[in-house]
Each structure stands twice: as structure tokens, then as C-alpha cells.
């Protein structure tokens, strides 16, 4: 083996070692940055506030709370159905930005609650006659909630939010 070939092999090995060292340093820096990000008081404060807002969203779109805020005896069943669904969608849209601060599981649970409540409203409205009033729909929803204690994800979602929030505290 010539001197030139030996120098090329040594240079190649030095470059390979330098590359490996850079990769390990980069990995260590990334890990350190991730740990710092999770321990940053400002980030922690923002995340806890997001869990508070998501809790409020969950409470506001719970069917029993939605009904208590949206009572209008003059509405038809169809108008009440649209009023309730619009209220759910507005609450959800208003808080959509909070998903970047909460776990994907919590956000999926909140989204499932929204979809479930819209589905229940639509299904119960479809069972009523065309001339039914908005109050008839409200009574039908209340009866459904009373007779089906497991009908709403509301409490399960609240428990998931509480669990996740405690994990970051």
C-alpha cells in the first residue's frame, strides 16, 4: 500500500469520526432543547391555559349546558337544531388554536365529543314530527340524557383533560 493510499484512508476515517461526532452532538443538543422547551415556565403556563380553555369548551358543548344557554320557546324544531349545532361549532372553532398546546389524544376526545353531540341532536330532531317546536326537541334531548347515562362523552373527556393536565404539572 502506498503512502498516498494510507493518507486517503486515514483522512476518510477522520472524516467518518467527525461525522459521527457531529451526529451525536446534534442529537444531544436536540434532546437538551426538547427538555428545556418542556420545562420552560412560559410554555408550561400556555399549556395549562390551553387545558383550562379546552375544559371550558367541553363544558360549554355538553348537551345539558348547551340547552340551558339556548332556550328560545319561539323556535321550531329545525331552528333549534340549527341553533344548537351552530353553538357547538362556534365554540369549537373559537378554541381550535388550543390543539397545538394539548396532546393529540385530548384534542381527538374533544373533537369526538363535538361530533357525538351534533349526531345526537340530528338523530333526535329527525325522530320528531315536522311541526314540532324547539322546546319539543329540548325535552327530547333531556329525556335522552336522563334515560342514557352513558350517552355523552362529556365526563370522559373531562377526565382525560384532567389526567393530561396533571401530567404536565
Q: pLDDT tens digit string along 44-74?
A: 899 999 999 999 999 999 999 999 999 888 9
Q: Are 159 and 105 in contact (CB under 8 A)?
A: no
- Clarify whether residues 60 and 88 are in a common domain: yes
Q: What domain range is 81 assigned to?
A: 44-168
Residue 96 clears pLDDT 80, i.e. is over it: yes
CB burial of residue 157 (10 Å; 0-12, 13-18, 19+): buried
- Clarify whether residues 109 and 149 are in a common domain: yes
- Clarify whether residues 33 and 58 are in a common domain: no
- Clarify whether residues 25 and 74 are in a common domain: no
Longest dimension (CA), the chain: 98
- Clarify whether residues 58 and 20 are in a common domain: no
Closest CA to 115 of 59, 153, 159: 153
For residues 23 and 42, the model is more confident at: 42
- Clarify whether residues 22 and 94 are in a common domain: no
Lowest mean pLDDT among 36-45, 50-59, 125-134: 36-45
- Clarify whether residues 10 and 67 are in a common domain: no
pTM score: 0.75
State the pLDDT confidence band at 141, using cuts at 50, 70 and 90.
Answer: very high
% of the chain with per-residue pLDDT over 70: 92
Q: Give dist(CA 122, CA 79) in Å, integer.
A: 12
- Clarify whether residues 102 and 159 are in a common domain: yes
Closest CA to 65 of 46, 87, 48: 87
- Clarify whether residues 68 and 22 are in a common domain: no
**Average pLDDT of the chain, as a whole number:** 87
State the pLDDT confidence band at 121, using cuts at 50, 70 and 90.
Answer: very high
Q: Give dist(CA 89, CA 95) in Å, integer.
A: 10
Amino acid at each position: 500500500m502506498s503512502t498516498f493510499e494510507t493518507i486517503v484512508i486515514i483522512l476518510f476515517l477522520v472524516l467518518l469520526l467527525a461525522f459521527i461526532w457531529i451526529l451525536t452532538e446534534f442529537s444531544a443538543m436536540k434532546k437538551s432543547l426538547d427538555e428545556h422547551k418542556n420545562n420552560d415556565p412560559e410554555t408550561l403556563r400556555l399549556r395549562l391555559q390551553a387545558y383550562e380553555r379546552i375544559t371550558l369548551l367541553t363544558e360549554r358543548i355538553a348537551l345539558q349546558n348547551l340547552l340551558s344557554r339556548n332556550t328560545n320557546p319561539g323556535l321550531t324544531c329545525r331552528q333549534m337544531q340549527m341553533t344548537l349545532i351552530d353553538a357547538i361549532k362556534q365554540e369549537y372553532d373559537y378554541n381550535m388554536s388550543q390543539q397545538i398546546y394539548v396532546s393529540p389524544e385530548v384534542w381527538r376526545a374533544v373533537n369526538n365529543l363535538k361530533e357525538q353531540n351534533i349526531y345526537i341532536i340530528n338523530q333526535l330532531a329527525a325522530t320528531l314530527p315536522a311541526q314540532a317546536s324547539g322546546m319539543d326537541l329540548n325535552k327530547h334531548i333531556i329525556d335522552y340524557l336522563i334515560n342514557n347515562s352513558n350517552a355523552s362523552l362529556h365526563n370522559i373527556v373531562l377526565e382525560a383533560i384532567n389526567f393530561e393536565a396533571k401530567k404536565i404539572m
